[in-house]
Amino acid sequence: MENVLLLIHLIVALCLIGIVLLQRSEGGGLGMGGGGGGAMTGRQAATAMTKLTWLFGTVFLINSIVLTVIAAQNASGGSVVDLVPTEESSTVPGLPSGESLLPPTPDSAPLAPPRSE
């Protein structure tokens, strides 16, 4: 189910990109300018391209929310930190008993011999 929704999401995203790129640029950015659509207001009648943009945008948003809910349900309660080896699990069978792969702690590290100058 999740793979089908991901495929639909990809197709809708590509269609949304395509339909936005096909629309006529009105200049001015963020909808500023481009007037002349109506006598009193700057709003133009909704074209088929505008309706398709709204449709693809709505489907994309709903699909995103559904995929988020599915991913949250499938997530295990664990964390990446749970995979870090602990002191007990860091011993290797080939090493002498008590030896560990972890670096020594400051209190168990051997003392360095004094320097002779």
Q: Please answer whether residues 34 and 26 qualify as being in contact, where contact means their C-beta atoms are separated by less than 8 angstroms.
A: yes
Rounded Cα–Cα distance for residues 54 and 20 (Å): 10
pLDDT tens for each residue of 83-109: 777 766 555 556 566 566 677 777 766
For residue 29, pLDDT beyond 60 = no
The mean pLDDT value of the chain amounts to 77
pTM for the model: 0.54
User: Given this model, what pLDDT does residue 9 score?
Assistant: 96
User: Given this model, what pLDDT does residue 48 score?
Assistant: 87
Is residue 59 classed exposed, middle or buried when 0-12, 13-18 and 19+ CB atoms within 10 A define those classes?
middle
pLDDT tens for each residue of 31-40: 555 555 555 5
User: Given this model, what pLDDT does residue 98 score?
Assistant: 59
